[in-house]
Structure 1
Amino acid sequence: MKLKILWVGKTQEEWLRRGIDEYTGRIRRYTPLEIAEAREEKGAAAEAMRTRECERLEKLVPKNARLVLLDERGDQLTSPELAAFMGKCRDSAVPEMVFAIGGAYGFADSFRARADRVLALSRLTFTHQMVRVILLEQIYRAHTILNGEPYHHS
């Protein structure tokens, strides 16, 4: 199953870019991975920015993909539960899973309605830029769990 990670805007901090590079390299040992950035909207009201950013994200989602949004109001899973979800998708012949991270103001309701699943990484609030590395680490962790490797400790 191919993975695609979408996010809004460029990664600003070098330390975050290093983390992204580290985990994308690790994930690619298990599965094809693509990362795509949608242009960040600036200078408009929050709702207008959400709408425009989500229109850009929507264009990056393949028609047959399973779409998972990362949002603070989503379901919270443990790492083994995320692994099980990803494994079930893989075993059900889902060709591509897309994880989307919204911009600073989140997702438009219309894009949220399009999602197959909405997940929250925590009840804590993280910057949308930090979520990139956290999500990638969790995807890597999920693959090690699915492969019975010792990275994850319960």
Structure 2
Amino acid sequence: MRVQICAVGRLRKGPERDLYDDYLTRFDRTGRALALGPAQLIEVEDKKGGGMAAEAALLERAMPDGALICTMDERGKVMSSPDFAALLARWRDQGRQDVSFIIGGADGIDPVLRSRADASLSLGKMVWPHMFVRVMLAEQLYRAASILAGGPYHRV
């Protein structure tokens, strides 16, 4: 199952980008044997200033046809890492070819796109900068693959 992280804005070089790249590389390496991945970052920018609706249109064009849409949203479901791993495995086992995780910009995700989502996840009750969300999601993808592979990374 291919994974896309579709996000508004650009993750520039620096410590966040280094962490993101490291976790995605680990996910791709660990997930390959589990039919998870590869993962790809797709970044969009609304250069015309059209707001959330324009960002949503760009995000929708970035997703593969038929992809399962999962928004990263403060109103989404909060789950444990093992539950997230089980969710990824369930989507894979249901034959989903693509899952697109959507990360909105500073104002969030357009309500119309949010209503189209198959799932919505939250990284907790606090609001996180969208650049951090990319790193945290990449880490959780790697952690999920490690859990499914029976690796030692996730400790209870």
TM range, smaller chain: over 0.9
Deviations 1:84-115 (A, max 9, x none): 10000111111111111100101111101111
Q: Which residue of 2 aligns with 1:98?
A: 100
TM-score by length of 2: 0.91
Deviations 1:43-62 (A, max 9, x none): x5xxx411111110000111
C-alpha separation in 2, matches of 1:28 and 1:40: 29
Q: Which residue of 1 aligns with 2:16?
A: 16
CA distance 1:41–1:57, change in 2 (3 Å)? same
C-alpha separation in 2, matches of 1:36 and 1:114: 19
> Shift of residue 130 of structure 1?
0.6
TM-score by length of 1: 0.93
Q: Which residue of 2 aligns with 1:3?
A: 3
SS in 1 for 2:121: strand
Q: Which residue of 2 aligns with 1:136?
A: 138
C-alpha separation in 1, matches of 2:138 and 2:21: 10
Deviations 1:31-72 (A, max 9, x none): 211110011457x5xxx4111111100001112111100000
Q: Which of 110, 113, 118 is the aligned partner of 1:111?
A: 113
Residue 39, structure 1, aligned to residue 45, structure 2? yes
SS in 1 for 2:144: helix
Q: Which residue of 1 aligns with 2:34?
A: none
Q: Which residue of 2 aligns with 1:84?
A: 86
Deviations 1:103-148 (A, max 9, x none): 0101111101111001101111210111110000001000011111
C-alpha separation in 1, matches of 2:83 and 2:21: 25
Q: Which residue of 2 aligns with 1:28?
A: 28
* Matching residue's letter, 2:62: L
What 5-or-longer segments of structure 1 have no aligned partner? none
Q: Which runs of 4+ in 1 moved over 4 A?
A: none
* Matching residue's letter, 1:36: I
C-alpha separation in 2, matches of 1:90 and 1:32: 13
What RMSD in Å do the two structures reach over aligned CA positions? 1.3
What 5-or-longer segments of structure 2 have no aligned partner? 32-36
C-alpha separation in 1, matches of 2:79 and 2:122: 8
> Shift of residue 12 of structure 1?
3.6
